[in-house]
Chains A and B, each alone.
Chain A
């Protein structure tokens, strides 16, 4: 017997197919069968569907995609596992995530790739994709086996956590990756400029007596990489862009029709260096929190369509590590589970985007960056669907997180936009109040 699922009466937003209207979504055998006001499929009578979800007053959107998360497996399973991370993801509306390769050991060959995929299959929550390392050991010296990793399913490459420092190595990486048509992503930070910095360089780092990271560290590497992308014509993706200067470089590069894309995190849209004033290490993140001016520039760029994806850079860490001195604590914010509410606060509430625009940056566009056939409700596509109560307000409580970590500075924030149900491949994998 076929498995059927009908989501009725929701406001369906499917930016890829220019749909934004109240209608029904029919899923048959894990695939989108029809999206219409009146389901035409004559074989089915509405009342006979095995499962019917009434989505009246809710948003029905393609499953959300986060192309930048850290699930810490293998190596730091105490902080997060693929199982705990994907349970957190699915509860936050994500049907696909992309894990970064800076695990211990790093993901740098096909065996590593297959290990992550196996863990993800066992967890059976979201689709878990991954990016492999650009260089062996993420050391920035020798290329990792990008070809084998791409064949095993890696959707891109990055040394995330580090930028590739040597311009000759980066040039080689782009040329080589170009043969396999995968994106090369970069954590833009020139280590020599950044030095031992732990927060944005400026007034606040000075009075706190903490070494600063100059914005130039990000911008100098991004400028260099854009020149390399221009030369090689290989797809290049700038991760977690955080400064006004960096976003200007991206905008200008796009004007020149270069194959470049970029992503922005919620913390770079909501928090500033001032948040570090009490040495709260939950605000220690890399790239560091910048200034109001940078937030403004990022929001403007999002409104103008310069930004291609919203990502969390979900970076779980242990309490015992985060209670170290600011200088010694690890970088990272765990925000996967409250991200939708954060984007609502950062972008919809102040009128930077409407829901259609927001959903596009969380579905269609990120899918394109990693080159997977997802992010739409088109007929015949795998049925990844998220149902959102856009008006539901709630208070973020880290104690309720499914993630193993609690290093989240948004605890206690009031936000709007709650995930009701997450459907992955036609299966309901999350239902608010049920699991």
Chain B
């Protein structure tokens, strides 16, 4: 897809969430990512765009996929990457987030990629430091690059999201992916349905720009794309459903259920998969699954994001 408007200029020196982005801004990131996609398939997987820049991966939560994806994206743009992993959800003890950030900034960091267990952590950081801040997941709030790579994958395979019906299934209340997907997909014209048990739906869900269903069976036949969220046992608390077996029975993507789905339905998952829980292995590895393409596209999308925020920061100086 060609750039829609030559006049458009990306002006944000950070990416905190997709809620605040316009459809035009989202499209611009996707278009930029298309340009970067082919770098990853070259024999020399490097472009010089961020040469001399330092990116820190500031991860306060466990992550393999996202952290590596950001590290690859940064190094393919020739940036130096510093890994800063600090596993502590309790910030009350030890150095505060702001103190950590101020220290990093004092060392001359250009871009901070932050993953944190508290909603709003990326925003808090961006208000207090001059470096670019890219949100790699904050609590239940947003995971913007995941949302972007999801819509990128759909757009690549379907041409456009306009008019598509998309189901997002599972633990909605604790899912930042569901929120980022919702903002990006609806802004690009898709109709999104949240599917899951009532105990895992957010409060006042009816005020969100989505449809809600408590029955996967009612939804499965109608949708063009289905995104199966991971059950995050570490976040659940209490017992929102009686057993894994019962959850899978009502909300798992089984081979049986797939028989009633549209033939060309796209099956997505943000990973890592609990095989046999959210979806049966045969579905995860089946012909409709685009799960590994999502991972591939993640690198290109993150390259685009790092490139754009750095460019905006340079222009502001």
A324 touches B96 (CB 8 A): yes
Contact of A201 among B116, B142, B203 (CB under 8 A): B203
Using known A-B contacts A209-B138, A209-B142, determine if residue A326 contacts B204 with beta carbons closer than 8 Å.
no
Q: Does residue B242 face the partner (Cβ distance < 8 Å to A)?
A: no
Q: Does residue B3 face the partner (Cβ distance < 8 Å to A)?
A: no
Count the B residues whose beta carbon is within 8 Å of the partner chain — how many? 31
Of B141, B203, B208, which is in contact with the most chain A CB atoms at under 10 Å from its CB?
A: B203
Chain B nearest CB from A95 CB (Å) reads 37
Q: Does residue B91 face the partner (Cβ distance < 8 Å to A)?
A: yes
**A409 CA to B117 CA, complexed, in Å:** 25
A209 touches B203 (CB 8 A): no
Chain A nearest CB from B288 CB (Å) reads 30
B120 touches A211 (CB 8 A): no
**A205 CA to B173 CA, complexed, in Å:** 10
Using known A-B contacts A195-B237, A327-B119, determine if residue A209 contacts B179 with beta carbons closer than 8 Å.
yes
Q: Does residue A323 face the partner (Cβ distance < 8 Å to B)?
A: yes
B141 touches A209 (CB 8 A): yes
Chain A nearest CB from B107 CB (Å) reads 21
Using known A-B contacts A209-B138, A209-B179, A210-B141, determine if residue A326 contacts B120 with beta carbons closer than 8 Å.
yes
Contact of A320 among B90, B96, B119 (CB under 8 A): B96
Residues of A within 8 A of B141 (CB): 207-210
A325 touches B120 (CB 8 A): yes
B91: nearest chain-A partner, CB-CB = A328
B202 touches A328 (CB 8 A): no
A320: nearest chain-B partner, CB-CB = B96
Contact of B140 among A195, A201, A202, A210 (CB under 8 A): A210
Q: Does residue A106 face the partner (Cβ distance < 8 Å to B)?
A: no
Residues of A within 8 A of B118 (CB): 325-328
Residues of A within 8 A of B176 (CB): 209
Interface string of B120-132 (1 = CB under 8 A from A): 1101100010000
Using known A-B contacts A202-B204, A328-B92, determine if residue A208 contacts B120 with beta carbons closer than 8 Å.
yes
Q: What does DSSP make chain B's interface, helix, strand, loop or mixed?
A: loop
Chain B nearest CB from A243 CB (Å) reads 14
Residues of B within 8 A of A209 (CB): 119-120, 138-142, 176, 179
**A345 CA to B176 CA, complexed, in Å:** 39
Interface string of B78-102 (1 = CB under 8 A from A): 0000000000001110001110000
Using known A-B contacts A209-B138, A209-B140, determine if residue A325 contacts B207 with beta carbons closer than 8 Å.
no
Using known A-B contacts A195-B237, A210-B120, A325-B120, determine if residue A205 contacts B96 with beta carbons closer than 8 Å.
no
Using known A-B contacts A195-B237, A320-B96, determine if residue A327 contacts B208 with beta carbons closer than 8 Å.
no
**A424 CA to B59 CA, complexed, in Å:** 55
Chain B nearest CB from A192 CB (Å) reads 9
Chain A nearest CB from B235 CB (Å) reads 10
Q: Does residue A212 face the partner (Cβ distance < 8 Å to B)?
A: yes
Using known A-B contacts A209-B120, A279-B120, determine if residue A323 contacts B179 with beta carbons closer than 8 Å.
no
Q: Does residue B19 face the partner (Cβ distance < 8 Å to A)?
A: yes
**A326 CA to B96 CA, complexed, in Å:** 12
Using known A-B contacts A209-B179, A279-B120, determine if residue A325 contacts B203 with beta carbons closer than 8 Å.
no
Residues of A within 8 A of B157 (CB): none
B97: nearest chain-A partner, CB-CB = A325
List 10 extra interface pairs beyond A206-B202, A209-B139, A209-B142, CB under 8 A.
Answer: A203-B208, A210-B141, A212-B203, A279-B120, A279-B123, A279-B124, A324-B92, A325-B116, A326-B124, A327-B118
Query: Which 7 A-B pairs rank lowest in CB-CB distance, beginning with the nearest?
Result: A209-B141, A209-B119, A279-B120, A325-B118, A209-B140, A327-B118, A206-B202
A to B CB contacts below 8 Å, 24 in the list: A196-B237, A201-B204, A202-B204, A203-B203, A205-B202, A206-B179, A206-B202, A206-B204, A206-B205, A206-B207, A207-B141, A207-B179, A209-B120, A209-B138, A210-B141, A214-B203, A278-B123, A279-B124, A323-B124, A324-B92, A324-B97, A325-B97, A326-B120, A327-B139
Residues of A within 8 A of B (CB): 195-196, 201-203, 205-212, 214, 278-279, 320, 323-328
